[in-house]
Amino acid sequence: MKKFLATLLFATTTTAHADWVKIDAPMPDPVRYMDKSAAEKSGADTVKLWHIVDYAGMQAHEGKPYRSIKANYEYDCSQGRFRAACSCLREMI
């Protein structure tokens, strides 16, 4: 019952929509996505993008298991560099 109520609450309160697009990669695992709708220009030649990285199996970081990462990266197009602005690990059951 709690799971049903949580799902119902989430479905009725969510108004934001992400436009997740799969990113082609040479390896099948992990699968990577980016949110095109949340692309944000942060400078003259820089842009911030949200990414999700989904792994087929459990991973571990500092002893904590996770299956996916959601991260915000900032890309400097003129210098060909990027950096992670923030990231969070999620355990998917």
- What is the per-residue pLDDT across 7-66, written as a single tens digit (0 to 9) for each? 444 444 444 567 899 998 888 899 999 998 888 998 889 999 999 999 999 999 899 999
Centre a 10 Å sphere on the Cβ of residue 85 and count the other Cβ atoms it contains.
Answer: 13
**Assessment of whether the complete model's pTM goes beyond 0.85:** no
Taking CA 86 as the corner, what is the angle to CA 18 and CA 15, rounded to the nearest 5 degrees? 25
| 35-43: long-range pairs with CB below 8 Å, 24+ | 42/74, 43/76
In the DSSP assignment, the letter for residue 25 is -
CB-facing half-sphere around the CA of 70: CA atoms within 13 A: 8
**Cα gap 82→46, rounded to integer Å:** 9
